[in-house]
Structure 1
Amino acid sequence: MSRENPMTVRSAPDRLLSVLSAFDHDHPALSLTDISRRAGLSLTTAHRLVGALSEWGALERDAAGTYHVGLRLWEVAALAPRGLALRQIALPYLEDLYEATHENVQMAVRDGDEVVYIEWISGRSAVGVHIRVGARWPLHATGVGLALLAYSDAASQEAYCAQPLAVFTPHTITDPATLRRVLAEVRRSGVAVSSRQVTEDALSVAAPVRNADGSVIAAVSVVVPERDAQVPALIPAVRLAARGISRALGWQPEPDKQPTRATR
């Protein structure tokens, strides 16, 4: 049974948050004992806090006696301004991208060294990676992550490249020099292509989404089976969706520079 360190004073909000933080995508259902252990709380304290959270609707208990995140908490989380505003504005463009490709379409934002998926539209393709809204992946292993990392500042990129890079398949980028070259190519071309990095059968094509001041705040991608990928055909469709969302957010691309004509 977990015991709290008597020398450590934890506030009530901190303990409540530790209970909620016990849940993640790898641990969506937990027993009271599991919650106590993962939150670092005594069983008595965990029982009291879980009871309060369940009464409010943040947690729900199933017939087996295990706890899950409750719908009330999902309702509150959905109000997060960054994700909510982006989803509302982006959805028509994401739906158009789906209609153009009939493939899996997704949108993600950056949170630290990870991407967080804020929208996912399932296509006809059966690829090995199954993403839920709210799921997280390392930046270097996904198309959306590469698009977001490529347009971050140089110091942020170097800090990311300097740390150990998680491996998911033999094709996952693990060499910092290779990652730097990939990021440079993303900036040059304006799109990111990630092939077989998370699973052996998936390829994604991603493009950045900009806000009114031109900052990259999100990325859009299409995920397809690698064996059937028609990358040249996917790139313009993904670019079009990303540019449409960016314009809806107030971004105005710089006009193409025309050669000046000499006056007589």
Structure 2
Amino acid sequence: MDNHLSSVKNGCRLLKMFLDSHTEMGVTELSKQLELSKGAVHKLLMTLESEGFIKQNKENKLYSLGYTLLELGNQVLRNHNLTDFAKPYLEKLADKTQELVCLCIRDGDDAIYVYKEESKHPIRFNVDVFRRFPLYATSAARVILAFQSEALIDDVLSSEIRTYTPSSMRNPAEIKERLSAIRQAGYEISSNMRNEGVTGIAAPLRDANGSVDASISIIGPSDRVLPVADSLVREVVNTTKELSKQFGYRR
């Protein structure tokens, strides 16, 4: 028996459309993407707008996310003890490496960057905090996926694989082989898979039970990161080991 309310589910689907799309979207575009009638989409928009989850640009009649979502997101962040606990470690790692340092967590079948320390270099790479990615898409995400159950890995890879650059992995077998290598190494290092000219180095964070639902990564221009990759790997692995120990993890 399906216990989901279809109207609520469609409202959630509509809000998620803005995660990987334009800042503003119209009824026609949303209707096409959601495969719902324009009338149904309009009713959803009116309901969400009345509660502040959606707002309309009165000049072009297009819709965007409302400020209520920002309030909810900030409340989640305030309640997320991992972020507060990890912040001093991330700051220390960023000071040592001078590169962008990110904290990434698993949310279902996706990965989300929930905190970052900016690079000190004038030429640097940037990520959007709270941006959602598939668990196979980035070094920080893959290092989380590698330590999940085979059933979850199969479920994540059962959907169409999204690619971002010519170097992106394109099929489940290739990704599984990569995940196996990550488990053996204990970290992930990749270049050009999500953004060309960018290298990410990531290691898993473990809780007291040894479960991996978060990671820490260093991200920067490949021509600056790759020559010192061994040093950066040591730094990020040591940071995650120290933080995991604070969480109660014992090898």
TM-score (norm 2): 0.80
| Residue 247 (structure 1) aligns with | 245
Q: Does 1:86 align with 2:82?
A: yes
Using the TM superposition, give the Cα deviation of residue 42 of structure 1 relative to its aligned residue in structure 2, in angstroms. 4.4
C-alpha distance in 1 between matches for 2:158 and 2:8: 35
Letter in 2 for 1:240: N
Using the TM superposition, give the Cα deviation of residue 163 of structure 1 relative to its aligned residue in structure 2, in angstroms. 6.5
Q: How does 1:103-252 map to 2 (within 5 A)?
A: 103-123=99-119, 124=121, 125-127=123-125, 130-157=126-153, 165-174=161-170, 178-229=174-225, 230-248=228-246, 250-252=247-249
Give unmatched runs, 5+ long, in structure 1.
1-9, 255-264
Q: Measured at CA, do residues 34 and 164 of structure 1 come closer, stay the same or move farther in structure 2, by a change above 3 Å?
A: closer
Q: Measured at CA, do residues 233 and 68 of structure 1 come closer, stay the same or move farther in structure 2, by a change above 3 Å?
A: same
| Residue 98 (structure 2) aligns with | 102
| % identity of equivalent residues | 27
C-alpha distance in 2 between matches for 1:34 and 1:22: 10
C-alpha distance in 1 between matches for 2:157 and 2:31: 36
Using the TM superposition, give the Cα deviation of residue 141 of structure 1 relative to its aligned residue in structure 2, in angstroms. 3.4
| Residue 54 (structure 1) aligns with | 49
Q: Measured at CA, do residues 64 and 91 of structure 1 come closer, stay the same or move farther in structure 2, by a change above 3 Å?
A: farther
SS at 2:165 equivalent: coil
Using the TM superposition, give the Cα deviation of residue 98 of structure 1 relative to its aligned residue in structure 2, in angstroms. 1.5
Q: Which moved more, 1:230-239 or 1:116-125?
A: 116-125
| Residue 258 (structure 1) aligns with | none
Q: Measured at CA, do residues 216 and 34 of structure 1 come closer, stay the same or move farther in structure 2, by a change above 3 Å?
A: same
Larger radius of gyration: 1
Q: Does 1:25 align with 2:20?
A: yes
Aligned pair count?
242
SS at 1:23 equivalent: coil
C-alpha distance in 2 between matches for 1:240 and 1:221: 12
SS at 2:144 equivalent: helix
Using the TM superposition, give the Cα deviation of residue 137 of structure 1 relative to its aligned residue in structure 2, in angstroms. 2.7
Contact 1:78 1:84 in 2 (8 A): no
Using the TM superposition, give the Cα deviation of residue 107 of structure 1 relative to its aligned residue in structure 2, in angstroms. 1.8
Q: CA RMSD in A?
A: 3.0
Contact 1:204 1:224 in 2 (8 A): yes
Instruction: Please give the per-residue CA displacement for 1:158-204, whole angstroms capped at 9, x wherever unaligned.
Output: 55567764333332233655544432332222211112111220111
TM-score (norm 1): 0.77
Using the TM superposition, give the Cα deviation of residue 242 of structure 1 relative to its aligned residue in structure 2, in angstroms. 1.8
SS at 1:120 equivalent: strand
Q: How does 1:4-19 map to 2 (within 5 A)?
A: 11-19=6-14
SS at 2:48 equivalent: helix
C-alpha distance in 1 between matches for 2:30 and 2:18: 8
Using the TM superposition, give the Cα deviation of residue 26 of structure 1 relative to its aligned residue in structure 2, in angstroms. 1.6
Q: Measured at CA, do residues 207 and 83 of structure 1 come closer, stay the same or move farther in structure 2, by a change above 3 Å?
A: farther
Contact 1:30 1:67 in 2 (8 A): yes
